[in-house]
Structure 1
């Protein structure tokens, strides 16, 4: 016997409630037969002019609708909060959980049978998936896609990655301000997300590797007609998923997460993937911890894209994209169901690489053992992470004197001082930038190199913080130190002059200070007063989990799939 459609409780009854639900929808011109019991598909759209990455999603929404109608469904588009990574203060990450709440409650409250998630910019993809996982309807993702390659003076330039390089060159006197400003317009030439392997393209790649989208979703440029065609096919497929009763929970299983971790390593993906995957697993009821990320420690870097390489997402697309990488990883991939109903291995069937300088073979990789490293020690008892593929090899094992910035304002005010007592062996430490401390855990962990060192040619040094960094950034940067300083973690106790030991290959991050001295510091420590005292930000500060738990809100972990029984009339 076929399971009754969820939408029938809204639109299938011949009583007052059914009358009201249908009649109000008909003011948009929908005919009677649209309510004949066909699947009603929600299109969850994060389009916004304040989120430039997602500015092309209206076009994709129309394509999804065509596919839904073709398959015999009834598409209905609805908006949710949009998170413009480069546009929001204090940080878009503060609002990821709010977007997840918006998505969850919208899906639960409306009479839909399945949902297509339209997102792209860094936090929109994980936020939408977190919300959808907590309701567990048939769900599929269409990403907005990357921008076209940036161009400046005949060269390809990548969003984020080249911004950091150009900015440091200006500070070093190697690039004029006029030239720096001249690159601005050539950087972003079309709709779409960062065209480097930043967080947005990383999450799109992981979504594809997890089987949450159709093949090729990650890398097709935003303005490529093939992305519009893929959106059409996605609309068709979501109707079939409803007919097959294929909910999100069947795809969000431990093996799917493990495949995402493997893909992140091979692609040189963003460190932000860690907090997003941990949070999503918490919603899905999957036991995922930082230790699980160690399964990819020996996976080599195969994708030669910025910031770990030299190419951009448009090149990655033309070289074969995610399917070509999955083909290389076939021997390591876990057996895992996808939105197509079969195993993820089918995404690699027939896949070819068309440019071996962009996607390297597994037996001759770009870099060996490129997976994210999980660090532990008395400075990070609950863990921290580092991205070796974007770091300087000679700094991955290092012992040095700490210079501490107590907060982001302290860092900004003093980083360019000629009197700053630092050299290239110093370890820069930034406090107060974790989930509670900032709040929201901003992308400031890749602190600028002090001007006095930049002018001497130094381009990398070890930096340690409870913050995140942009997926487009690079350097020997230790991130997500947990517990954070504001929560009373050992990071709060570090003082300028202390010695810190990093051994990334061995997974060690230690503060070399006598335990008796640390105990005395701990007894004298007092948390800073919260930066925000009202509204959602205060709710966030009071309930956010630490980075090693995904920085979700404690009361949002898990799901609630109970049917809505109370009527609105």
Structure 2
């Protein structure tokens, strides 16, 4: 293997020349207390840290950044911590999805404009993982993703609680009158017991698993609980490895390929992944010039069993249990020839080597292919006259009796309208009806909020109904569950067919046939189309206006049209300086 020389380092362009400009660069490093021995001939490693006091999932990142720096110094590099947008899923409104692309742009530009040779990306809370990776892929420098790790399992009166999933479950019980205020307060205090991201197989755990399966983390990194001492050791290992990657010139273009993306999709399906994985994986792949589609993902879902018995798709376990049962390396090893063993990883070895010999220590947590949690279809893509470009459902997390359903639509044009209606005890609604929320997509939300798990109407809750078909152009939390059909494309706000649906229309859903249709004649739809008036844009200026003008639809990853890499095109090295 040909290794870089110190003079070939990108940072050497800033610090090595004997000229006035480099004099200024060096003198400013000295202003910070550094000397030539700190930078001369050493790779400069960025640590992009999404720590924030408004980010509970990343509260340990100050300490972990110090651990990464220790590893960089041990390997002979110079660490530079660069703070970035944090995107707390639980606190940012209207939705972190509105700002995923902003963090991706910030990541790319931080790497482009600074004297950086390689980078460790610190993320984990839902949108931080895809955003950081998207930006780093586009920047093209050697990179490692360091996942925040799942929090410890929740606990309430001897029961294990899963973040998000149990909140939805017990909130319905409270709305049904089965849970008092004291119990609700106890759940509130016990459901999130440590730093780290959600410990269900929600979006956070899904996306860090995808990052590992695609080859962008050190082996086993995505499963380690945030509070485990192994997580601290992982941080310093990332710091040491990124320095070696710089000398090896191991860039993401060699790692993120069509084969590694397909591996990541297969692993996601086997974990019972979040529906959000569809949008983010498509966006990440397209940054690398890999033309991943909804049909590709549906095909992988049809043939990949769910073998991770983790809530909400699984019945019992959480990420802490998954880690101690062998973690993602063990799950990938169980997938056998369903994975391509040849794609390279940040470890410098093919992924087949990194998972070889990984053992499963609990066969109920990580099932065999012969005894899956669900035989196929962690996710399924439906198409029809209601969603000509596709929509997504999670069959393994909904009532099997709803996989085929024909019912009357109850259509809501806004979240407040829907929320008020479902609490009305006199709402005219039956279990076979179809709740519909529209104008909640990428432009309509704005930003495609996680409103897609529409609440079951109180009237039905009191009849002990806990699931029904719900359709929207929104997303839903990865910790959610139920017969929710999401990401309807094109969205209603820009004139997708969902905008033509009316209360009382019959909607037919057939998940095995992958179809979704409103039983309305073409002539009637044409009349409705002629009467439809496009809504006014939300934003007259700023980032919101740019978002609305350039964001793609859900089936294309919701990236900005000017940031994707065309299939076959090279990602330019960040050599502007």
Matched, 1:262 2:273: no
Q: Per-residue deviation at 1:155?
A: 1.0
Q: 2:546 maps to which residue?
A: 539
1:561 aligns with one of 555, 568, 572: 572
Aligned partner of 2:171 among 167, 172, 184: 167
Aligned residue among 301, 309, 319 for 1:304: 309
Distance between the aligned counterparts of 2:508 and 2:355, measured in 1? Answer: 42
Q: How does 1:305-320 map to 2 (within 5 A)?
A: 305-309=310-314, 310-320=316-326
Residues 1:237 and 2:244 aligned together: no
Match of 2:231 in 1: 227
CA–CA distance in structure 2, aligned partners of residues 296 and 503 of structure 1: 16
- Contact 1:373-1:386 within 8 A present in 2 as well: yes
- Cα offsets for 1:356-389 (capped at 9, x unmatched): 1111111111221133111111111111111111
Q: Distance in 2 between matches of 1:347 and 1:146?
A: 22
Q: 1:22 aligns with which of 6, 20, 26?
A: 26
**Partners of 1:477 and 1:527 in 2: CA distance:** 26
The yes-or-no answer on 1:404 pairing with 2:411 is: yes
SS, match of residue 183 in structure 1: helix
Q: How far off is 1:564 after superposition?
A: 4.0
Alignment map for 1:261-300 (pairs within 5 Å): 261-293=265-297, 294-300=299-305
Gaps of 5+ in 2: none
Matched ranges for 1:28-427 at <5 A: 28-293=32-297, 294-309=299-314, 310-334=316-340, 335-427=342-434
The CA deviation at 1:457 is 0.4
SS of alignment partner, residue 122 of structure 1: coil
Shift of 1:178: 1.7
* TM-fit CA distance, 1:407: 1.4
Which secondary structure does the structure 1 equivalent of 2:24 belong to? helix
Which 10-residue stretch deviates more, 37-46 or 1-10? 1-10
Q: Output the CA distance in 1 between the equivalents of 2:537 and 2:426.
A: 31
Distance across 1 between alignment mates of 2:186 and 2:540:
41
**How far does residue 539 in structure 1 lie from its aligned partner after superposition?**
1.3
CA contact 2:124–2:197 (8 Å) conserved in 1: yes
Q: Show CA shifts across 1:125-169 (max 9, x none).
A: 100011111111111111110101101101110110000001000
Tell me how far apart the structure 1 counterparts of residues 440 and 413 of structure 2 sit (CA, whole Å).
Answer: 10
The 8 Å contact of residues 298 and 371 in structure 1, kept in 2 or not, is answered as no
The alpha-carbon deviation at position 563 of structure 1 amounts to: 4.4
Q: CA shift at 1:419, angstroms?
A: 2.8
CA RMSD of aligned residues (A): 1.2
- The residue number in structure 2 matching 1:503 is 510
Q: Distance in 1 between matches of 2:429 and 2:125?
A: 36
State the shift of 1:2 in Å: 5.7
C-alpha distance in structure 2 between counterparts of 1:274 and 1:387, whole Å: 11
How far apart, CA to CA, are the structure 1 residues paired with 2:574 and 2:170? 53
* Equivalent-residue separation in structure 2 for 1:490 and 1:427 (angstroms): 16
Contact 2:469 2:483 in 1 (8 A): yes
- Aligned mates of 1:322, 1:508 — CA distance in 2: 33
> What TM-score does the superposition give when structure 1 sets the normalisation length?
0.98
Equivalent position SS for 1:479 = strand
Task: List runs of 5+ in structure 1 lacking aligned partners.
Answer: none
1:194 offset after TM fit, Å?
0.6
Q: Can you list the C-alpha shifts for 1:256-305, whole angstroms capped at 9, x where unaligned?
A: 11111111111111010110011111211111111110223221111111
Deviates more, 1:55-64 or 1:552-561: 552-561
- DSSP 3-state at the match of 2:133: helix
- 1:300–1:362 contact (8 Å) kept in structure 2: yes
Distance 1:463 1:565, change over 3 A: closer
* Residue-pair matches, total: 566
User: Runs (4+) of structure 1 moved beyond 3 Å?
Assistant: 562-566
